[in-house]
Amino acid sequence: MIFSPLPGTPLITQGFGQNPDVYSTYGYQGHNGIDFGVPEGTIIYAPHDGTAEVRNDGASGYGLHLVISDEKRKSVLAHLSNVDVTNGQFVYQGNPVGKSGATGQCTGPHLHWTYKICKSGVVQNKSNGYDGAVDVTEFTRLWLDQDLHFNAEYTDDAKEYLAMDFTENQYLKNTTRQA
Ligand SMILES: [Zn+2]
């Protein structure tokens, strides 16, 4: 189970697979993650355990960003204004790891989150049109459960990319989460 990287009710402004014409220039079939429209300085939480890598693309690409990975999965949290972990630090799900921003190539403050599934640390399904990135939209529906304390809303543009439907009681609980 992975958790929301944001507190409160994050607004998803660009869904997974959206805007294929824009992302074809990167070799993707569409947006390779989901975007949350949040003001600069919003605290970002680790969506899962892993070793943090601090990277900086400067004014291009993902800007200041964090990669959190372990044997099973990898997250990229991009366009940050600040990171609160050191390179190589192990972080636990729910730990605050940085603050959102508008660094790199973007039109305004938001958090971009790419999620990939790994096997023994190797990204799987890299030929899926998104370099192995998978749609975490379904998890945003799981956050709707109040036990997870998070709830995602969608803009009208992003709504059609919310493809998964869940029954009311279909979720996983983790009572040990920290944030
Ligand atoms: Zn994005």
What is the Cα–Cα distance from 7 to 63, expressed in whole angstroms? 22
**Ligand 1: centre distance to CA 170 (Å):** 27
**Ligand 1: centre distance to CA 113 (Å):** 7
Name the nearest CA neighbour of 48 among 35, 66, 21, 25. 66
**Ligand 1: centre distance to CA 177 (Å):** 26
Q: What is the pLDDT of residues 83-123, one digit of tens each?
A: 999 999 999 888 899 999 999 999 899 999 999 989 999 99
Give the SS3 label for residue 83: strand
Number of domains in the chain: 1
**Ligand 1: centre distance to CA 36 (Å):** 8
- For residue 1, what are its two tokens? 């189970």
**Ligand 1: centre distance to CA 18 (Å):** 10
Residue 159 is predicted with a pLDDT of: 66
Q: What is the pLDDT of residues 137-148, one digit of tens each?
A: 767 766 655 444
Residue 70 reports pLDDT greater than 70: yes
CATH number at residue 55: 2.70.70.10
Q: What is the mean pLDDT of the chain?
A: 83
Interstrand relation of 64-69 and 73-83 (parallel, antiparallel or unpaired): antiparallel
pTM over 0.95: no
What is the Cα–Cα distance from 133 to 178, expressed in whole angstroms? 26
**Ligand 1: centre distance to CA 100 (Å):** 13
Whether residue 100 is contained in a domain is answered as yes
Whether residue 103 is contained in a domain is answered as yes
**Ligand 1: centre distance to CA 105 (Å):** 10
Q: What is the pLDDT of residues 25-52, one digit of tens each?
A: 989 999 999 999 999 999 999 998 999 9
pLDDT band at 157 (very low <50, low <70, confident <90, very high): confident
What is the Cα–Cα distance from 172 to 150, expressed in whole angstroms? 14
Residue 175 is predicted with a pLDDT of: 41
Domain range spanning residue 86? 11-159
Whether residue 101 is contained in a domain is answered as yes
Spacing of C-alpha 72 from chain mean position: 16
Name the nearest CA neighbour of 18 among 123, 166, 165, 162. 162
- For residue 56, what are its two tokens? 């900086």
Mean pLDDT of the 58-84 span: 96
Residue 22 is predicted with a pLDDT of: 92
Mean pLDDT of the 1-19 span: 84
Whether residue 62 is contained in a domain is answered as yes
Rounded percentage of the chain residues whose pLDDT exceeds 90: 59
Residue 154 is predicted with a pLDDT of: 64
**Ligand 1: centre distance to CA 136 (Å):** 13
Q: Are 32 and 129 in contact (CB under 8 A)?
A: no
